[in-house]
């Protein structure tokens, strides 16, 4: 049975836990100063990227600087993630979210998620999300209060890789980048959805992701869904804070990943 949130509980959870925030310490501070980021249109502009809503041809142009330097998934792929000895199968949808899906598959292939911790699990007062993907969590010496502030550092540039907010409206030919939308999205927050965590700034997602433990329609259009759990949701449902991802492997569709250069 899928659960749906009463709106007052939703607002309370977001205000109280900021569960989808934080790709850097500075961005977390931005989240703390504005608690309505997930339920209203984000309009704050990143210092590095524009948040103007724009659709973009995947081959001829870019709406956010640096987009053409990011991996893309042209089609679908399957990722099997092992947690507590059990598999979670994820269908990654590059048809509707090529950059977000491409980023995830690329990080899986790089082993970024292997050994990382699920640092935030929210089930009370009702099932909400399981969030992980902070590379810092591999290091047991990193304080628990820092988990949720890290992202993928590209070893070539020595900088954190950020990806733009990418949401494709239902029926649209291409995604919209850099801005939340009010139209129904092609990929929604149904139970088992997999999406990218970010701070209040739309283009701040890096490596952190979350599983939706219930239907979370109030997040639609605000966060980028890029896939869904096709089997093993019972494993997701048992994840506890501090559990580690033993491994994550691309089992199908690796050939659909296109990387620059």
pLDDT score of 261: 74
Within a domain: residue 41?
A: no
Within a domain: residue 2?
A: no
Could you tell me which of 104, 130, 133, 103 has the C-alpha nearest to residue 116?
133
- pLDDT tens-digit readout, 173-223: 999 999 999 999 999 999 999 999 999 999 999 999 999 999 999 999 999
Within a domain: residue 90?
A: yes
Structure token digits, residue 157: 């540039």
Within a domain: residue 240?
A: yes
Within a domain: residue 169?
A: yes
Within a domain: residue 222?
A: yes
pTM: 0.81
Query: Sign of the C-alpha dihedral, residues 188, 254, 75, 222?
Result: positive
pLDDT score of 27: 41
Quote the domain boundaries for residue 146: 7-34+55-63+71-253
CB 204 within 8 Å of CB 81: no
pLDDT score of 61: 53
Within a domain: residue 44?
A: no
Number of domains in the chain: 1
The domain that contains 98 carries what CATH number?
A: 2.40.100.10
In this prediction, the residues of the chain whose per-residue pLDDT falls under 50 are: 1-5, 8, 11-12, 14-60
pLDDT score of 51: 34
pLDDT score of 50: 35
Q: How far apart (Å, rounded) are the C-alpha atoms in residues 177 and 167? A: 7
What contacts 67, CB < 8 A, 6 or more positions away? 56, 99, 164, 177
Within a domain: residue 48?
A: no
Name the DSSP class of 28: H
């Amino acid at each position: 049975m899928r659960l749906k949130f009463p709106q007052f509980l939703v607002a309370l959870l977001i205000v109280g836990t900021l569960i989808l925030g934080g790709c850097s310490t500075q961005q977390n501070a931005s989240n703390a100063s504005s608690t309505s980021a997930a339920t209203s249109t984000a309009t704050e502009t990143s210092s590095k990227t524009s948040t103007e809503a724009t659709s973009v041809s995947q081959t001829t142009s870019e709406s956010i600087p640096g987009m053409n330097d990011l991996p893309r998934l042209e089609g679908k792929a399957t990722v099997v993630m092992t947690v507590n000895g059990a598999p979670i199968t994820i269908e990654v949808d590059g048809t509707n979210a090529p950059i977000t899906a491409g980023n995830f598959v690329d990080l899986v292939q790089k082993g970024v998620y292997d050994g990382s911790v699920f640092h935030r699990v929210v089930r009370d007062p009702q099932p909400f999300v399981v969030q992980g993907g902070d590379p810092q969590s591999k290091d047991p010496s990193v304080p628990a209060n820092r988990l949720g502030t890290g992202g993928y550092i590209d070893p070539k540039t020595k900088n954190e890789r950020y990806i733009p907010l990418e949401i494709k409206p239902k029926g649209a030919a291409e995604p919209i980048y850099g801005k939340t939308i009010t139209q129904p999205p092609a990929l929604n927050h149904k139970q088992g959805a997999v999406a990218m965590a970010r701070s209040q700034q739309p283009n701040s997602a890096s490596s952190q992701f979350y599983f939706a433990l219930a239907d979370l329609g109030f997040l639609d259009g605000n966060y980028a869904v890029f896939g869904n759990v096709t089997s093993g949701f019972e494993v997701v449902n048992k994840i506890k804070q501090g559990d580690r991802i033993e491994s994550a492997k691309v089992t199908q569709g690796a050939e659909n990943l296109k990387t620059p250069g």
